[in-house]
Chains A and B, each alone.
Chain A
Amino acid sequence: MGRTLPSITQTFLQEQQSLARFRRALRLDDQRALDDLLAASRHHLAEAAYASHLLPFEIMLLAMLVEEHKQVLRLREELETLRWDARSLSTSSPRPASGGQTGRGQEHSKP
């Protein structure tokens, strides 16, 4: 309301619009991935507005990276948990596994 510059949401939509041809040319699976990335960057519009960056698309890319990296960290953690569960399964089995533990696993086993 009463603003001179377009809002960050309008800017985002413009950037998204500018990718329309690129998106169209992508395969269906890739289109879905691109949509996921764009949706991820929308989670950080407030932060992008606060940044007042001259090239908002750079911030959008960073926001995508932030969300992607969060996903990687989450998956890594989940993987560690699964590894840990699997390992505890093996240790609690009547026939103890011989030398199957990795260095990281030993870290986990510390109190």
Chain B
Amino acid sequence: MTELSGRPLAIASPSNKPTLYGWLFDAYPSGTGMAVWLIDADGQAHMFHDDFTPVFYVRGPRQDLHDLCQMLRARREPVELDRTERIDLFLDHPVEVLRVGVRSPGLLPRLFRQVADFNPYLTYYDADIPLPQRYVLTRQVFPLAHCAVEHEAGQIRHIQALDTPWEIDYRLPPLRVMAMRLGGELRNPARGHRGDLLVQVEGEEYPFKREHSREMVLGIRHLLERHDPDVLVTAYGDSYLLPRLLELARHYGISLPLNRDPDQAIAHKPARSYFSYGRIVFSDEQHLLFGRWHVDRQNAFLGDDYGLDGALEIARLSGLPVQTVARVSTGTGISAMQVSTAWRRGVLVPWQKRQPESLKTGLDLLAADKGGLVYAPLMGLHEHVAELDFTAMYPSIMVHFNLSPETVGAKCCEGVPVPELGTPVCNHRQGLVPETLAPLLEKRNQYKARIRELPEDDPRKEIFRRRYSAHKWLLVTCFGYLGYKNARFGRIEAHEAVTAYGREVLLRAKELVEARGFRVLHLYVDGLWIDKPGASQRPNYEALLDEIRAQTGLQIGLEGVYRWLAFLPSRVEARVPVANRYFGTFEDGSTKVRGIEARRHDTPNFVRETQLGMLAILAEGQGVAGFRAAVPAAIEYAARQLHRLRSGQVPVRELLVTHRLSRQPDEYIARTVAARVALELTQAGVSLSPGEKLRFLLVPGPEKARAWELIQGEIPYDRQAYLQLFIRAIESLLAPVGVDQSTLETWLLGQTSYWGPVGVLPPPGTDGRWPMLANARPVGAEHSLLATSAFREIQRECFALTRQAA
């Protein structure tokens, strides 16, 4: 059977061939087609073969296409060549193309490289869609679809999905999981950590001594054969466990059936470092299995956030294999979903992007080259603040206003002008991106509703939460991909149109909020923080939310009403607030924290724990006065934690600092702490790449820091360095009530210039920048408010009036 993009597979007639019902588990190229694995309701795995000819298309001058055909025929490549017509998304009309069908799917990547090298100036389509995705698109199935398969002598005759990717409460196959990790603390074995191998399968744990490696390999082979697991979940399996086991198996001449398909070798992808959003990211090497999944929890993208449930959901939606989804960013998922939409429409998928930015005047650029609105909040501590958030604002804008690379700036109709920019947006055909996102938004809303309805003890609740979280990540990345220079369906004008609508919608909401007498404390891209005397309950906001929904056409929700909320100043310039540094407590007692130490990845656990512990105490305060009243208790807690820190009682693993390597270890010029740790690891024989994370302990003495993987047991830590981090974290929490570093040192370290009982704040209303104003002596206060001419003026006038009154 041949791949026909966008067309359903024609089946001649219903037959009486045996039919198997099961879930589509794996598909990969094998010989003249694909090897397809299904798992039935009893958990039994079945492998079939399905003949399959993937196709790519070439467009260009007739002579060039003719030369290409000659070249392929001369090399006797297994290809089918013919001319046909297909639709190009941006041209919106059929174009004549050369269709190249490859009879052995596994040869397609190599063959396409030959073709592209032969003539790089031709336009190529459908060339780099992953083969498993092509297969499921062609057969109109999807990973983990519940399928009916008619088969004959191991060959698939017909495969049909019995459910859709848009089901909410779908059934998954019963999967047997085998877990593998090294004993002891979870440390990267590639950096020297060693331990016994622990294998868990069907409720039993099997430890294998590291010094008996032959028994280890034999034992694992036995377990694999006896339990035949569907999924191998490992910790550091990609970078250490699997390569090491394979090496040992080779050494002892023992066959180790990690793959279920004995004819395939384990696929290995090397590690790489790349730039993403201004920082360097490290992606470790990969070991992928056939007929079985290998998921490495330490090499999974956002694995903790949405877990395997979320990864399965993304695989179902995107058509990408589960092992791929578990290792790539959600951007790849959303990109694959767009490819699927194009495929279903019968539109060609470009190999390389051909949509350069259109020519703009300087003024146009000035108007368009902007992001979302990020205000400077009103600094300080506020009470009864409501946070309103637009639900999935950017994706909703794309769907609601039909923003897609081919609709923005289209000349097919008059269109609707984008606010600020005036670029017309086609309104007579749905764009590819909105078509992809609309059902996803809908599904996400359904999960949201189900999560709300289900009781806490329902096991589905957590699964739905994870799927909901996976949707969130897919939607978050879809906006970036619209403007990403390498995205297939990216176009900067569409990206700019989204942010222009975003600004318009937020300002419209601001105007509505202000018209109803609320004060706007902060605006941040898709969120508003507002307050009004007397509005401290959810019902006070219902009418306002309805009005915003009606006026903007987008969904907006009340994130919550804060008992109190603090917007923090910049650390560099205390007079200037920072947009995303805030924390607060909602009416239900839950807290929200952004931009402070507890949210940072490099903060040691101990400091995070202290900050969150203090926050929990402050959260008891009902308003600003309550917050102030809770400060002494919070300081008391901090003092207890400080005692643990200063007396050396904190365990090493609670004090680890995390740092991401930004360059090769030998490229560091300054001897920063991270550079020292990188050097220490390199000297211990560990090879490091940019983007890899280092975890280390700050230690006293000239070495300053030690890599965690090289530390044995508990060793002394640099108390002074941790003290600084500790004080800094507390300062972030108490800065809104005017407590600065020196006050904290007075309170916690008992230094001189003690000015009042520990934790007791100056009277309310005292300027936060001069917290001790009330107790300040006039001498030496010449730079304070007391000395300003305006203040003296007021004082003079007050005295005059008082005298007059007297």
Contacts and interface: CB of A to CB of B under 8 A. Distances in A.
Interface of A: 1-5, 32, 35-36, 39-40, 42-47, 49-50, 52, 54, 75, 78-79, 82-83, 86-87, 89-90, 93, 97, 100
Contacts of B375: 46-47
A14 B484 CA distance: 28
Given A52-B367, A52-B370, A97-B804, A79 B376 contact: no
B577 interface: yes
Nearest to B507: A50
Q: Is the interface of A mostly helix, strand, loop or mixed?
A: helix
Given A42-B376, A46-B523, A89 B805 contact: yes
Interface stretch (B49-57, B380-388, B616-624, B794-802): B794-802
Nearest to A6: B369
Given A46-B523, A82-B797, 16 more contacts: A2-B485, A32-B783, A43-B376, A44-B376, A45-B376, A46-B375, A49-B370, A49-B373, A50-B507, A54-B363, A54-B366, A79-B797, A82-B798, A86-B802, A87-B801, A89-B805
A97 B805 contact: yes
Given A5-B365, A82-B798, A90 B805 contact: yes
B99 to A, nearest CB: 35
A44 B369 CA distance: 18
Nearest to B574: A39
A87 B365 contact: no
Contacts of A83: 797, 801
B307 interface: no
B806 A93 contact: yes
Contacts of B376: 42-46
A52 B797 contact: no
Contacts of A86: 798, 801-802, 804-805
Contacts of B806: 90, 93
Contacts of B576: 39, 42-43
Interface string B773-788: 0000000000100000
B483 A2 contact: yes
Contacts of B365: 4-5
A43 B577 contact: yes
A86 B575 CA distance: 33
A39 B575 contact: yes
A50 to B, nearest CB: 6
Contacts of A2: 483-485
A39 B573 CA distance: 8
Contacts of B797: 79, 82-83
B575 A36 contact: yes
- When A and B form their complex, which 5 residue pairs have the shortest distance between CB atoms, in order from nearest? A90-B805, A86-B801, A39-B575, A46-B375, A43-B376
Contacts, number: 75
B120 interface: no
B712 to A, nearest CB: 42
27 contacts: A1-B278, A39-B576, A42-B573, A42-B575, A42-B576, A43-B577, A44-B376, A45-B376, A46-B373, A47-B375, A50-B507, A52-B366, A52-B367, A52-B370, A52-B420, A54-B363, A75-B790, A75-B794, A78-B794, A82-B798, A86-B801, A86-B804, A86-B805, A89-B805, A90-B804, A93-B805, A97-B805
A71 to B, nearest CB: 8
Contacts of A90: 804-806
A93 B369 CA distance: 65
A92 B503 CA distance: 54
A4 B802 contact: no
Contacts of B798: 82, 86
A84 B503 CA distance: 43
B121 interface: no
Contacts of B374: 46
A100 B802 CA distance: 12
Contacts of B783: 32
Contacts of A40: 575
Contacts of A50: 370, 373, 503, 507
Contacts of A44: 376
Contacts of B507: 50
A105 to B, nearest CB: 10
A82 B801 contact: yes
Contacts of A3: 369, 371
A32 B784 CA distance: 12
Contacts of B794: 75, 78-79, 82
A50 B419 CA distance: 12
Nearest to B524: A46
B367 A100 contact: no
A76 B543 CA distance: 36
Contact of B804 (A39, A52, A100): A100
Contacts of B367: 52
Nearest to A49: B370
A90 B802 CA distance: 8
Contacts of B278: 1
Contacts of B373: 46, 49-50
A81 B288 CA distance: 74
Nearest to B484: A2
Contacts of A54: 363, 366
B369 A4 contact: yes
A83 B485 CA distance: 63
Nearest to B576: A42
Nearest to B277: A1
Nearest to B573: A39
Nearest to B800: A86
A44 B378 CA distance: 11
Interface in B335-394: 363, 365-367, 369-371, 373-376
Contacts of A82: 794, 797-798, 801
A79 to B, nearest CB: 6
A75 B399 CA distance: 48
Interface in B569-589: 573, 575-577
Given A79-B797, A82-B797, A87 B805 contact: yes
Contacts of B503: 50
A21 to B, nearest CB: 20
A39 B462 CA distance: 46
A5 B806 CA distance: 63
A42 B570 CA distance: 11
A54 B363 CA distance: 8
B804 A5 contact: no
Contacts of A4: 365, 369
Nearest to B798: A82
A82 B363 CA distance: 50
Interface in B57-76: none
Interface in B500-539: 503, 507, 523
- The winner among A50, A83, A90 for most chain B CB atoms within 10 A is A50
B718 to A, nearest CB: 34
A62 B9 CA distance: 66
B501 to A, nearest CB: 13
A71 B370 CA distance: 30
A89 B802 contact: yes
Nearest to A35: B575
Contacts of A5: 365-366, 369
Nearest to A39: B575
A34 B576 CA distance: 14
